Amino acid sequence: MPSSLLWAVDVHGKVYTLSTASQYWELCRDASLEFKRLAAVKQCCWGIASDQQIYIYVHLNEVPIRYQEETFENQRWNPMDGFCDHLLPSDRWQWSDITGLKHQPLKEFKLASQHWEWESNWYVDENIGGEPTDKGGWTYAIDFPATYTKSKRWNSCVRRRRWIRYRRYKSCNTWAKIPSQNTGPLPDPFHDIAVGGWEITDEPLGHLSVWAVTVLGKVFYRENINDQNPEGSSWTEIQTVGEVVQIACGPCDLVCAVLWEGQLIMRKGLNRENPKGNSWQIIEPQNSGNGFVQVSVGVNVLWAVTRDRKMWFRRGVCSENPIGTGWICMNIEMMMVNVGLNDQVWGIGSEDRSIYFRQGVTPTEYSGKAWKVIVANRDQDRSSCASSATSLVSAGYFFGDEVRWPFQPSTSDVDFSLEMEGIAEGTENILETIERDGCPHNKDVASSCPESKCDAVTSVFENISFNDETSEKSPQPIFESTSAQSWLAGGRQALQDDAKLDDAHSGLSPVNLDLAETSSASAAAIYPFGIEEHYVTDEQSLWAWVSGGGCDIEAHTQLSWFNVQSGQTFSIQSFSSYPQQTVWRKQIVQQLIERSKREVDDFKHYEQAVEQSVWIKKGTMQWWRDGKPHKWTDVKVALEQFTGNDGKRDGIFFIYYTYNDEKKYLHLFLNEVTILVPIANEAKHSFAIYTPERTKQRWPIRLATVTEQDMYDWLAVLSLACFDSRGIHGPPSHQAIWSVTCKGDIFVSEPSPSLEATSHPMPSDQLYWRQIGGHLRMIECNNQGIVWGIGYDHTTWVYTGGHGGGFFQGLTGSTDNIYTQSDVMCVYIYENQRWNPLTGYSSRGLPTDRYMWSDASGLQECTKAHTKPPSQWTWVSDWYIDFNAPGGTDRNGWQFAADFPASYHGYKTMKDFVRRRRWARKCKTVTTGPWFEVAPIGLRDLSLIPSMSQSAGDQVALWAISTKGDVLCRMGVTKQNAMGVSWLHIGTDQPFVSVSIGTYYQVWAIAKDGSAFYRGSVSPQNSTGDCWYHIPSPSKQKLIQVSVGRTSVCAVDENGNLWFRQGISPSYPQGSVWKHVSTNVRKVSVGPLDQVWIVADKVQGSHSLSCGTVCHRLGVQPQEPIGSCWDYGIGGGWDYVTVRANSMDSSHSRVQSTPVQEPVKLPPTQNGTAGAKSIKSLVVEQHEPDGRAVKC
Partner 1 sequence: MTDDRDVLRDVWFGRIPTCFVLSQDEITEREAEPYYLLLPRVSYLMLVTDKAKKHFQKVMRQEDVGEMWFEYEGVPLKWHYPIGLLFDLHASNTALPWNIIVHFKNFPETELLHCLTKDAVEAHFMSCIKEADALKHKGQVINEMQKKDHKHLWMGLQNDKFDQFWAINRKLMEYPTEEGGFRYVPFRIYQPLSDRPFIQKLFRPISSEGQPHNLGDLLKEMFPVALTSEDAEKQYQVVIHGIEPMLETPLQWLSEHLSYPDNFLHISILSVPRD
CB nearer to partner 1: pick between 552 and 713: 713
Site residues for partner 1, 692-721, by CB under 8 A, read 720
CB nearer to partner 1: pick between 589 and 935: 589
Contact segment (CB under 8 A) with partner 1 among 9-17, 113-121, 609-617, 1159-1167 equals 609-617
Q: How far is the CB of 598 from partner 1 (least distance, A)?
A: 7
Answer yes or no whether residue 513 interacts with partner 1 by CB under 8 A: yes
Instruction: Report the alpha-carbon distance of residue 1056 to residue 1094 in Å, rounded.
Output: 11
Answer yes or no whether residue 1151 interacts with partner 1 by CB under 8 A: no
Q: How far is the CB of 567 from partner 1 (least distance, A)?
A: 4
Contact segment (CB under 8 A) with partner 1 among 49-57, 226-234, 369-377, 393-401 equals 393-401
Cis peptide before 936 (omega within 30 of 0): yes
Show Cβ contacts of residue 211 under 8 Å, excluding neighbours closer than 6 positions.
Answer: 193, 194, 195, 219, 220, 221, 222, 238, 247, 249, 255
Q: How far is the CB of 522 from partner 1 (least distance, A)?
A: 5
DSSP per residue, 4-57: -EEEEEETTS-EEEEETT-SEEEE-S--SS-EEEEEE-SSEEEEEETTS-EEEE
Question: Considering only residues 141, 525, 536, 926, which one is a binding residue for partner 1 as defined by CB under 8 A?
Answer: 525
Closest by alpha carbon to 780, among 944, 947, 1022? Answer: 944
Q: How far is the CB of 552 from partner 1 (least distance, A)?
A: 20
Contact segment (CB under 8 A) with partner 1 among 306-314, 437-445, 517-525, 872-880 equals 517-525
Site residues for partner 1, 721-750, by CB under 8 A, read 729-730
Answer yes or no whether residue 555 interacts with partner 1 by CB under 8 A: no
Question: Considering only residues 522, 1065, 1072, 1147, which one is a binding residue for partner 1 as defined by CB under 8 A?
Answer: 522
Answer yes or no whether residue 607 interacts with partner 1 by CB under 8 A: yes
Q: DSSP label at 322?
A: T
What SS3 class is residue 337?
strand
Per-residue string for binding with partner 1, 803-822, x by CB under 8 A? -x-----xxxxxxxxx----
Closest by alpha carbon to 132, among 1018, 1052, 965, 1028? Answer: 1028
Q: How far is the CB of 768 from partner 1 (least distance, A)?
A: 18
Question: Considering only residues 364, 452, 509, 1157, which one is a binding residue for partner 1 as defined by CB under 8 A?
Answer: 509
Question: Considering only residues 568, 848, 1035, 1152, which one is a binding residue for partner 1 as defined by CB under 8 A?
Answer: 568
Contact segment (CB under 8 A) with partner 1 among 179-187, 389-397, 953-961, 967-975 equals 389-397
Contact segment (CB under 8 A) with partner 1 among 229-237, 557-565, 756-764, 1018-1026 equals 557-565
Answer yes or no whether residue 905 interacts with partner 1 by CB under 8 A: no
Burial class from Cβ neighbours inside 10 Å (0-12, 13-18, 19+) for residue 1087 reads buried
Give the Å distances, CA to CA, from 668 to 79, 433, 633, 656, 839.
84, 76, 18, 12, 60
User: In degrees rounded to 5, what are phi and psi of residue 933?
Assistant: -75, 135
Contact segment (CB under 8 A) with partner 1 among 565-573, 656-664, 782-790, 1072-1080 equals 565-573
Q: How do 737-741 and 1134-1138 pair as beta strands?
A: antiparallel
CB nearer to partner 1: pick between 386 and 826: 386
Burial class from Cβ neighbours inside 10 Å (0-12, 13-18, 19+) for residue 815 reads middle
Looking at residue 683, its amino acid is A
CB nearer to partner 1: pick between 603 and 1068: 603
Is residue 185 within 8 Å of residue 220, measured between CB atoms?
no
Contact segment (CB under 8 A) with partner 1 among 520-528, 915-923, 952-960, 967-975 equals 520-528
Kind and range of the H or E run holding 188: none
Answer yes or no whether residue 616 interacts with partner 1 by CB under 8 A: no
Give the Å distances, CA to CA, from 707 to 602, 619, 716, 772.
47, 12, 14, 22
Site residues for partner 1, 22-41, by CB under 8 A, read none
Is residue 412 within 8 Å of residue 370, measured between CB atoms?
yes
Q: How far is the CB of 606 from partner 1 (least distance, A)?
A: 4
Contact segment (CB under 8 A) with partner 1 among 335-343, 394-402, 910-918, 964-972 equals 394-402
Q: How far is the CB of 780 from partner 1 (least distance, A)?
A: 26
Give the Å distances, CA to CA, from 878 to 297, 319, 472.
17, 10, 45
Q: How far is the CB of 1142 from partner 1 (least distance, A)?
A: 23
Question: Considering only residues 83, 122, 166, 398, which one is a binding residue for partner 1 as defined by CB under 8 A?
Answer: 398
Answer yes or no whether residue 557 interacts with partner 1 by CB under 8 A: no
Residues 22, 26, 27: CA angle, nearest 5 degrees: 170
Per-residue string for binding with partner 1, 349-388, x by CB under 8 A? ----------------------------------------
What SS3 class is residue 298?
coil
Q: How far is the CB of 266 from partner 1 (least distance, A)?
A: 42
Site residues for partner 1, 958-977, by CB under 8 A, read none
CA torsion, ordered 82, 83, 87, 91, to nearest 10 deg: 120
Q: How far is the CB of 701 from partner 1 (least distance, A)?
A: 24
Q: How far is the CB of 722 from partner 1 (least distance, A)?
A: 14
Answer yes or no whether residue 518 interacts with partner 1 by CB under 8 A: yes
- CA–chain centroid gap for 839, Å, is 43
Q: How do 175-177 and 958-962 pair as beta strands?
A: unpaired
Answer yes or no whether residue 519 interacts with partner 1 by CB under 8 A: yes
Contact segment (CB under 8 A) with partner 1 among 93-101, 515-523, 1072-1080, 1120-1128 equals 515-523
Neighbours of 389 (CB within 10 A): 18
What SS3 class is residue 809?
coil
CB nearer to partner 1: pick between 814 and 1002: 814
Looking at residue 212, its amino acid is A
Contact segment (CB under 8 A) with partner 1 among 51-59, 99-107, 182-190, 512-520 equals 512-520
CB nearer to partner 1: pick between 589 and 1172: 589
**Starting from the edge strand earliest in sequence, which strands make up the sheet with 24-27, in order?**
377-378, 24-27, 15-19, 5-10, 543-547
Site residues for partner 1, 770-809, by CB under 8 A, read 802, 804
Contact segment (CB under 8 A) with partner 1 among 417-425, 509-517, 661-669, 885-893 equals 509-517
Closest by alpha carbon to 176, among 116, 101, 97, 236? Answer: 116
Closest by alpha carbon to 336, among 140, 194, 123, 519? Answer: 194
Answer yes or no whether residue 521 interacts with partner 1 by CB under 8 A: yes
Site residues for partner 1, 446-505, by CB under 8 A, read 505
Answer yes or no whether residue 399 interacts with partner 1 by CB under 8 A: yes
CB nearer to partner 1: pick between 154 and 584: 584
**Starting from the edge strand earliest in sequence, which strands make up the sheet with 701-705, in order?**
662-669, 649-659, 632-643, 615-624, 701-705, 685-690, 675-678
Kind and range of the H or E run holding 423: helix 416-437
Give the Å distances, CA to CA, from 686 to 305, 680, 682, 1192.
52, 8, 9, 9
Q: How far is the CB of 597 from partner 1 (least distance, A)?
A: 11
Q: How far is the CB of 717 from partner 1 (least distance, A)?
A: 9
Per-residue string for binding with partner 1, 573-602, x by CB under 8 A? ------xx--xxx-xxx-xxxxxx-xxx-x
Instruction: Report the alpha-carbon distance of residue 295 to residue 290 in Å, rounded.
Output: 14
Q: How far is the CB of 565 from partner 1 (least distance, A)?
A: 8
Q: How far is the CB of 616 from partner 1 (least distance, A)?
A: 13
CB nearer to partner 1: pick between 729 and 891: 729
Instruction: Report the alpha-carbon distance of residue 761 to residue 1114 in Å, rounded.
Output: 8
